[in-house]
Structure 1
């Protein structure tokens, strides 16, 4: 990271969360400041093939900013070996959604196991996701998945979630490549019902191999969802936005620690504002980022 963390943090793993119908236990990692009270909570959904052990550059910076972060490991994690050709793969998007609901249902248990029962604020909970994790989070914010006939499926929205952040979120399914259409038919989000306040973060040069469209595909979550929404576009950013999943990981094509810090700080600032921790944090961040030409922002209310 461009600026070392200033606050001592702690990390506890694995914590097992009660879950039924899973081939493997649902486990999470919790990262939080070593001191402090009334901590707001982020539940983070990782991208395809990752786990609770990824995204350290983001999570550590959020903990340094005063958040308690919960990271579940979804069944698509490479450690479980359920690949595209596995007959279970097509249902994993539903398990991902169930994972987030399960973590929220048992958040008290998770925080007790982490030794944070008296230090977190259960009234201030937000969801954040990257890539497939962003689509997963979107479902709890109100988005649905369209079927082959274009009809919206189940409503998985979650009451009590004040805000969310979608980083490199899947666009609509009308431009999927043949591979994506065959293996990822659930990649057809309908954002028209995603009414929970959210920040959408997209890379200016994020060209997905799953869509025939350009980087504008990753703007759909902002343009096609109802207000209130915020959009942050990162100049020259690609899908991992400088390396948010980890330093020098194989899939990072645009290594830039400063860009990672920008994304992490954008999430902290937006959620501090949305969760009423510091209501001027987003406006201050946005003004500084635009003045330094690090990002461009849009809003609809």
Structure 2
């Protein structure tokens, strides 16, 4: 859970693992097994709204994509944007998740978003607490959108700095409500090992990423002691490009359908999703 306090922005080690992670490889000691179920067969119409959330003096305007006019309940996915980005930069992918039956909440972090007047990469250390607080507010706020959320099925996902934020939610700032995580082009959170109850984890990383190296990302994948998978984009860099968008989006969607709905068909379709376009390979120990 998030409080109103923040960590020191002087924590420069937050970016120390972008070249290599210090986390040691782990064998899987606790498997994540969701209760069997079925993900929605429908493709939902999607609407978007913005909530004016905050944590203390930290403004956290949160863009939410959700199935329009539906009663749910639907799982919640908390998405964290990258450095000098904003949630709407990822709208194409996040809309696809919402079409598949998820409520997707993307906070704009105060010091790492595209228009931040006092941009500070070290402020990533405060973002896991921000993310947990946004989850708190999504679950406690009254309204038609928040009313369709299933509070027992929650995942976190993020890209780059948002991927580091996501890793933090499963390690240094463990939010035990999370059943699954997606880390895109991310690395560890200040070298802190994964902890807490088992969760399903999916990593997506370009083999030619020079911002957060593939070596760093794969090391963090190998350090997860729970059910895990990794989608490696053969010629991918740090951001999703048009040629690998479908493989990335289909794989992440099927992963969420499995991890949060317990759909065995979605799990079985992961290799097919990863193979779209012949641009990626999949390692899976889910």
TM-score range, shorter chain: 0.7 to 0.9
Contact 1:165 1:201 in 2 (8 A): yes
Q: 2:132 aligned to 101, 104, 127, which one?
A: 101
Alignment of 1:2-81 (within 5 A): 7-13=44-50, 15-22=51-58, 25-36=59-70, 37-75=72-110, 76-81=112-117
Aligned counterpart in structure 1 of residue 205 of structure 2, from 199, 202, 211 = 202
Q: 1:260 to 1:292 in 2, by over 3 A?
A: closer
The superposition leaves residues 198-251 of structure 1 with CA deviations (integer Å, 9 ceiling, x where unpaired) of: 10111122122x6xxx53222122112213211111221111021xxxxxxxxx
CA contact (8 A) 2:247 2:275 kept: no
Counterpart contact for 2:52–2:61, Cα < 8 Å: yes
How do residues 1-301 of structure 1 correspond to structure 2 at under 5 angstroms? 7-13=44-50, 15-22=51-58, 25-36=59-70, 37-75=72-110, 76-84=112-120, 90=122, 92-110=123-141, 112-113=142-143, 115-142=144-171, 155-170=172-187, 188-193=190-195, 196-208=199-211, 215-242=214-241, 256=242, 258-290=243-275, 293-300=278-285
Secondary structure class of the residue paired with 1:80: coil
Distance 1:80 1:273, change over 3 A: same
Whole-Å Cα distance in 2 between the matches of residues 119 and 83 of structure 1?
Answer: 35
For 1:119 and 1:39, locate their aligned partners in 2 and report how far apart those are by CA, in whole Å. 6
Deviation at 1:52, TM superposition (A): 3.0
* Unaligned stretches of 5+ residues in structure 1: 143-154, 172-186, 243-255
Instruction: Quote the Cα distance in structure 1 between the aligned partners of 2:170 and 2:66.
Output: 24
Q: Unmatched 5+ residue regions in structure 2?
A: 1-41
C-alpha contact 1:130 1:169 (8 A) present in aligned 2: yes
**CA 1:18–1:192: 2 relative to 1, 3 Å:** closer
CA distance in 2, matches of 1:128, 1:220: 18
Distance 1:196 1:190 in 2: 16
Q: Take 2:273 and 2:126, find their aligned partners in 1: how far apart are those partners? A: 39
The one of the two structures with greater contact order (alpha-carbon pairs below 8 A, sep at least 6) is 2
For the residues of structure 2 that align with 1:289 and 1:138, how far apart are their CA atoms? 22
TM-score (normalizing by structure 2): 0.76
**Preserved CA contact (<8 Å) 1:199 1:231:** yes
Q: CA deviation at 1:121?
A: 1.3
Distance (Å, rounded) in 2 between the aligned partners of 1:34 and 1:93 = 32
SS of corresponding position for 1:190: coil
